[in-house]
Amino acid sequence: MPPDIDTLLSGNLLLSALRLPDQSLLKPHLELKDYRRGEALFEAGEDVSFISFPLGQCVAALVIGLKDGRAVETATVGHEGAIGGVVSQGSLPAFSRAVVQVPGRVLRIEAPVLQQIKQTSPGLRNLITRYSDCLLAQVLQSVACNASHTIEARCVRWLLSLQDRLDTNVLPITHEVLAELLGVQRSYLTRTLRTLQQQGLIQVRRGRIILVSRPAMEEAACECHGAVKRHFEAVLGAVYNANGTLVSLRATAASNNSMSQAI
Amino acid sequence: MPPDIDTLLSGNLLLSALRLPDQSLLKPHLELKDYRRGEALFEAGEDVSFISFPLGQCVAALVIGLKDGRAVETATVGHEGAIGGVVSQGSLPAFSRAVVQVPGRVLRIEAPVLQQIKQTSPGLRNLITRYSDCLLAQVLQSVACNASHTIEARCVRWLLSLQDRLDTNVLPITHEVLAELLGVQRSYLTRTLRTLQQQGLIQVRRGRIILVSRPAMEEAACECHGAVKRHFEAVLGAVYNANGTLVSLRATAASNNSMSQAI
DNA sequence: GCCCGTCTGTACACTAGTGCACAAATGCCC
DNA sequence: GGGCATTTGTGCACTAGTGTACAGACGGGC
């Protein structure tokens, strides 16, 4: 039995924030797709033909490949966002690779079709603009973070931000992969994770990391996690809550105003 | 004598890439403003009310302030671009601070007015979208760069990217300021600059750094400088050249196509 | 042409993180 | 329930970069 489209839409915070008429405009064009860990949504240099909205637990990342073969993560996108031509509006070559970190499903739409619909829907335009701004904020903060913070703090930040996008405290990732994403040495990361475990923040298992104490993690993380989250709340908080449904992203405080003009 | 508006427009590559009718739409709303080194265009958290187009040699930077008082540069903007609500389209709180690195003049326009004009001008919309994508690319690359490359390589990258925006090889910057922007220790940066001087790449003077051999610098820089530049050329190359005037940004190769749909 | 604040050079002890090699453990598959 | 690939743990030598302190040099302002 094919899943109900409305149920699917509700798996992504952006899509479910749209008013019903806007949702209706999109529905006929949305396509459901399953991704496995490691699969690429698009490659650097390719024209981006689809914009994808991760559903539920699915998490993808924007990754920059370097000459020496490393591939560093630059942004994480889960059910709070969208990936693929969000800023460029499709039709331009992708600068980064998009790869699935946590497998799952996405709803995707052809970029030109989305552009078309945006012409007629201010709500959709507004929503995507707001998300673009948050995506940029996330990346800006990471530039400063990578220039300034220790691997330990960055690692904790990363774990928190993955958990924000899941609803479990068991994070499915190996040291190897995490080290690659952070752009650091695997052996050193193992030692860092050991330290965190000794401090009682996490439990390390083969292929997964279990968060034990979220408050202690937030203490140990660099400020960057909180800074980005606050920006999301300021810019998209009220939007996410607009339809009074899902209040995810583990809202810490009341969502800021500064966006009374609504969507 | 007030400077001729057309001469001013030609000082910014985005503005001068616009077709004449689009330029005419903007002209009545553009305001000329002078900035001194260190002045802020806007502060983090403020609503961004203006979008500014740096003219000639003027260079500004997006800067993220950290708790410990450091302030790391996340993006550089000169006469090839614009700064302030480029992605957010104004009307949202700024996530970063914008500060002038190299003094000069900008043409600025109120964000809501620009939004208004964008409604009626596909060329303007397209241009700003393209630039937004390049800005994002620049920042994405910096995330990976800061995670992976040595201070020496990053420093050389930074010097090159500043020179791209000036037309001189004398860069007006102190070790202190550059170290802050890169998020590194001043004393170590001094040593790094010494090394570069010994290798014959630069000359170090009080308050300025003189590039001696651009080819050697490009050799010593990390790949990031080139990667970002190629993306600018792919996405904006033909646009910058559209009016057949200024061909700046030290074009290395023929500008790529992939954007035949023009602006 | 001298003064003084700012900028640059350098020394030193120290820590964070690299790079590599290999051993040990886990857990999935049959 | 044993075998085996993958993942994790750890040892070690090394380098890059921090943090701090202070001396010296430059050059603009008077």
CA distance B172 to chain A (A): 23
Extents of the domains making up chain B: 5-262
Instruction: Give chain A's mean pLDDT.
Output: 90
Q: Which residue has the higher pLDDT, B4 or A172?
A: A172
Percentage of chain A beyond pLDDT 90 is: 85
Residue B160, token pair as written in the block: 């090159």
Interface test with A, best of B73, B77, B143 (most A CBs within 10 A): B143
Task: To the nearest 10°, report the CA torsion of B151, B156, B162, B166.
Answer: 160
Contact status of B43 with chain A (Cβ, < 8 Å): no
Evaluate whether B220 touches B202 at the Cβ level (below 8 Å). Answer: no
Is residue A221 pLDDT above 80, yes or no?
A: yes
Query: With bands split at pLDDT 50, 70 and 90, how would you rate the model's confidence at A255?
Result: very low
Q: Return the CATH number of the domain spanning residue range B5-262.
A: 2.60.120.10
Query: With bands split at pLDDT 50, 70 and 90, how would you rate the model's confidence at A90?
Result: confident
3 state DSSP class of A117: helix
Query: Residues of A91-123 as b/e, b for ≥16 C-beta within 10 angstroms?
Result: bbbbbbbbbbbbbbbbbbbebebbeebbeebeb
Phi, psi (deg, nearest 5) at residue B37: -55, 135
Evaluate whether A127 touches A18 at the Cβ level (below 8 Å). Answer: yes
What DSSP element (H or E) covers A64?
strand A59-65
Q: Do A132 and B129 touch (CB under 8 A)?
A: no
Is residue A254 pLDDT above 80, yes or no?
A: no
Question: 3-state DSSP helix/strand/coil percent for chain B, to nearest 5?
Answer: 45, 20, 35
**Residue type, position A232, single letter:** F
3 state DSSP class of A151: helix
pLDDT in tens, B118-161: 999 999 999 999 999 999 999 999 999 999 999 999 999 999 99
Residue A4 is predicted with a pLDDT of 85
pLDDT in tens, A133-181: 999 999 999 999 999 999 999 999 999 999 999 989 999 999 999 999 9
**Residue type, position A226, single letter:** G
What DSSP element (H or E) covers B41?
strand B40-42
Average pLDDT over residues A28-36: 95
Pick B140's closest partner by Cβ from A74, A183, A259.
A74
Contact status of B137 with chain A (Cβ, < 8 Å): yes
Is residue B252 pLDDT above 90, yes or no?
A: no
**Residue type, position B185, single letter:** Q
Closest to B234 measured CA to CA, from A95, A48, A132, A84: A95
Q: How many CA atoms lie within 13 A of B144 on its CB side?
A: 31
3 state DSSP class of A194: helix
Residue A248 is predicted with a pLDDT of 44
Q: What is the rounded distance in angstroms from the CA atom of residue A160 to the CA atom of residue A263?
A: 29
Separation in Å: D10 C1' and A204 CA:
16
Minimal Cα distance from B73: which residue of A? A144
